[in-house]
Structure 1
Amino acid sequence: MTRTKLVAATLLTVALAVPTATAVAADAYGGGAHAWSPADGGDSGKIAVQDNSSDGDPVKAEYYRVDSSETKRTLWNHSGPRTKAYSGDGSRIYKFKACDENYGSPDDCSGWVIP
């Protein structure tokens, strides 16, 4: 193998490996909700949501996974102030938002965030 081909193959391998090996943490805030991904040790297939308010309303994270890109999923936290909820593991989460549930009124949600 020529030196040029070896260098090209090495660069291609590094370029393909780096995006899957590193996960960029992202946060979203909506009302009293705080969601982040990757969650639980940097796993890009997990998301978490925390309730940061004392209004008695639950919070949620709405998110999409790579392997089921048309399915919006929802992680609820009904446990009260300062508690956290974690999703199960799955394919990489590619966008999410945090929402504070408001019964009878529109929810307070962040915009969509891409981790």
Structure 2
Amino acid sequence: MRTSTTLAGLLLAVGLALPTVTATATSVTGGGATAWSPARGDSGRIAVKDGSRDSDPAKAEYFRTASSDRKRTLWNHNGTHTTVYSGDGSKIFKFKACDENFGSRDDCSGWAYN
């Protein structure tokens, strides 16, 4: 009995001493746009960065678990090397990054899943 109590105490101490693991963000790039989620460590947020030097905006298209049939779009109209973040909500489970091309097809990544 004493051995199992000592072992349980040791395991508890090790568990408390180890840092907790945070969610690792999934990132995708389409053209000059990069999107990632979870953003800021929150599974209900997504971010999109415009990395191209053209004057076209970047966007992230995404789906949330609470409204899984509704595609949402987060636009970044702020220019090169800027990042915008979505508001918080239910978990983002599917998304892609796109570099908008006026007058022609957008450059988009494939869909990423969280």
| TM-score between the two structures when normalised by the length of structure 2 | 0.80
- Structure 1 equivalent of residue 78 of structure 2: 79
- Structure 2 equivalent of residue 23 of structure 1: 23
- Structure 1 equivalent of residue 99 of structure 2: 100
**Counterpart code for 1:37:** S
Alpha-carbon distance in 2 for matches of 1:111, 1:74: 15
Alpha-carbon distance in 1 for matches of 2:48, 2:97: 7
Identity of aligned residues (%): 67
Offset from partner CA, 1:52-110 (integer Å, 9 cap, x none): 01111000000000000000000000000000000000000000000000001010000
Secondary structure, aligned partner of 1:75: strand
Alpha-carbon distance in 2 for matches of 1:83, 1:74: 17
- Structure 1 equivalent of residue 89 of structure 2: 90
Aligned length: 94
Which structure is larger by alpha-carbon Rg, 1 or 2?
2
Which consecutive residues of structure 2, in runs of 5 or more, have no partner in the other structure?
A: 1-20
1:22 to partner: Cα distance: 5.3
Alpha-carbon distance in 2 for matches of 1:43, 1:54: 29
Which consecutive residues of structure 1, in runs of 5 or more, have no partner in the other structure?
A: 1-20
| TM-score between the two structures when normalised by the length of structure 1 | 0.79
RMSD of aligned residue pairs (Cα, Å): 1.2
- Structure 1 equivalent of residue 4 of structure 2: none
Runs of 4+ in structure 1 off by over 4 angstroms are: none
